[in-house]
Amino acid sequence: MSDDRFARTQLALLISIAFACAPSRAASDDTPAEVAAPVATVVVSAKSGDYLGNNTASAVAPTQASLTATEPQSIITRDFIELSVTPTTEYSRIVNVAPSVSGDSSNGPGLSETKTTMRGFSDDQYNITFDGIPWGDTNNPAHHSTSFFPGSTIGGAIVERGPGNADNLGYATFGGSINLYSKKPQKDQQFSVFGSAGTWNTALAGFSYESGRLPGFNNGTVQANFQHLKSDGYLSLNSIKSDNYLLKVRRAVGDATVITLFASANRIKYVQPDNSKGPTLAQVALHGKNYSLNNDPASFNYAGYNHTAKDTDFSYLRAETNWGSGWNTDNQLYSYAYDNETISSTDPTGATAPGTKVGPAGNKDIPGIDKRNKYRVYGDIFRLNKQFDAGVLRTGVWYEYSDTDRHQYDLDLTLGGVRDPRETKPAPVQNPSVLFDQQSTIHNLQPFAQFEWAVTPDLTVTPGVKYLRITRAVDADVNQTTRLPQHTSVDYHTTLPFLTANQQLSNSLAVYAQYAKGYQIPDLKSFYIADPTKNSSDPQKSVNYQLGVVGQSDALTWDVDVYKIDFTNKYVSNGLGGADAAYINVGGATYKGLEAQATWMVGNGFALYANGSKNKATANDTGKTISGSPDMTAALGLLYNAGPWSASLIGKRTGEVRQADYDPAKPLAYDTYLTKAYTNTDLSLAYRFTRPGMGIRMLKLQLNVFNLFNHQDVTSISPAKNVAYDQYTFQAPRSFQVSLKADF
């Protein structure tokens, strides 16, 4: 995104704010927009400032499940985020506290992208939604944790460990969903400024605005947020700078409809290599565990050769209408975009000798790439609900279209020659510097229906079904891998049934069960062959069996679940070349485990928190553990709140992980590439000043210490063809941030 385009986005947000605040017909104070809302909106944010305030386990729990749950879940509130999570955070750090979830940033908390795993499922095998809208990359449904929603914009999260019901949407219900929510509008006006400073020259500043209910705006609300972040980062010369703008407007229109407008824009700049998998052991011995870039123009690791700019936006218009007689509708029209423009050297490990294809003969210049991944997504989610005496019918349809532009060109970084071959669209023989120049699209249509049958006042059984039809198309003059023209499309379709049950045993105890099928859209790499129409049209699927029990009382909230997931139709290459190459469905894997979480109010302001999981993921063909799958997770925490003081001390442990799948031809690699369990312990201490002066209603001073015990264990290994060039990432060392927030 150009500077002009980003400036136009900012201007559009400001114009929207001005429009939203324009006067309208008055409404009485006792009929606010929230009262008129006909469709329940999930709220996971407690009232601001009341964290631990009412001394119940449900109020203080870092994670908990609902008594109405139909699959394993972890609800995380905004107040927990503000107290216990770094101000520089993004969603991965927020949800990391939940059982079976793991992931770590090697550049420091919130200062680089983090790929989270859930039950051993990788980042592209589960959904992430924001206010119910699924988002992710268009080549595969992976996510960029720092690119859309900084922590200051997230009102709460629900980690759903399962496909959900029929109305759970996304391209990877395969492994579950991380559901993020915007902040709930406040009833009263409030303006806040916030900032923090800490290790590695990290600094954050911003403001948020809550209009409260506006009588001249039909008791609607306006919310705005701005955040600026910059840091040098823990990794050498891996700096980051980002800005985020957000607007949310909510108001009633007439007596039966509530309209919500949401818009955000994010710009982020990194200095980092495109290959950010860490240093080799030889580089660690010479430069330390934080080695990444240097100031030597003769090196692949020169900071001046490695930089990325990402621009994103995300917006939706939502209309919730109550039509009477038990009928209501909820429609979300949305769009989001991602634009990654990267210049990078090709090999930070030192395995490749200097010399570029695009430089003069015999040159010793530094080879690099010009990389783009740019897409725009448009979609609509329509839901129609009907209340019957026997239960609630929920039906609807999800439509989405995406348009993607991806390319990668060879560069001579020493000469600074950034060329743009797209002007002539040359064939590979004419211009071998074009690795690929590819456009692709996705058309998605998914109707769904389910019925929440109230069998008895205490038993709800919900059958449902979802049908999906997805068309992927590639239009490339130079396709990736083959470097040949590719102009084709493939249809994928399947039907997914669901059945869940929830039995309320008492006001404080419930049990649930789930049978559900999930799926994952085939990766775009399945088009990197001569004839993709030979591929299988059946996407990867999962069959989930889950049982759980949830208990809640003033003193204790707890839940336990067991699960078994059969992963089928694994999408793999048939191993053939040329015209016979195709992607086919074979084998799969089995995931199973036990999970639990609990919070106990001890008394005198103290609460204890614990969670844990025992996870196993094995390939069906070998019986061996799948790479990237931790064998356990655990968390233990102490929480405190009394008067103006709040504190939390939480340690999260991630179990051992196989970093390579078992290969009978290389049996030693399976045991060699193994990372041991590691632990991060975070401390937070906050003090609230009430009306300290200068018009401030509340002033909060907070200290956060991350990785308190300064562990620097290996968190991942990326095997290379030559073991000398294997790459390692480590825990970022102990760091701190001091924060201040003033509410006016």
In sequence order, the 6+-apart residues with CB closer than 8 A to the CB of 249 are 16, 20, 220, 221, 222, 223, 259, 260, 261, 262
CB 42, CB 318: distance < 8 Å: no
The Cα 715–Cα 730 span in angstroms is 5
Could you tell me the domains of the chain? 3-743 (2.40.170.20)
The Cα 673–Cα 626 span in angstroms is 12
- pLDDT for position 30: 37
Give 19: exposed, middle or buried? Use CB within 10 Å, 0-12, 13-18, 19+.
Answer: exposed
- pLDDT for position 3: 45
Of residues 120, 104, 103, 101, the one with CA closest to residue 630 = 120
Whether the model clears a pTM of 0.85, i.e. scores above it, the answer is yes
The Cα 524–Cα 488 span in angstroms is 12
**Residues with pLDDT less than 70, the chain:** 1-54, 417-431
CB 397, CB 383: distance < 8 Å: no
Which DSSP category does 154 fall into?
-
In 23-87, which residue ranges form alpha helices assigned H by DSSP?
A: 33-36, 57-60, 78-84
The Cα 106–Cα 235 span in angstroms is 7
What strand order describes the sheet that includes 177-181? 73-77, 156-160, 177-181, 127-130, 133-134
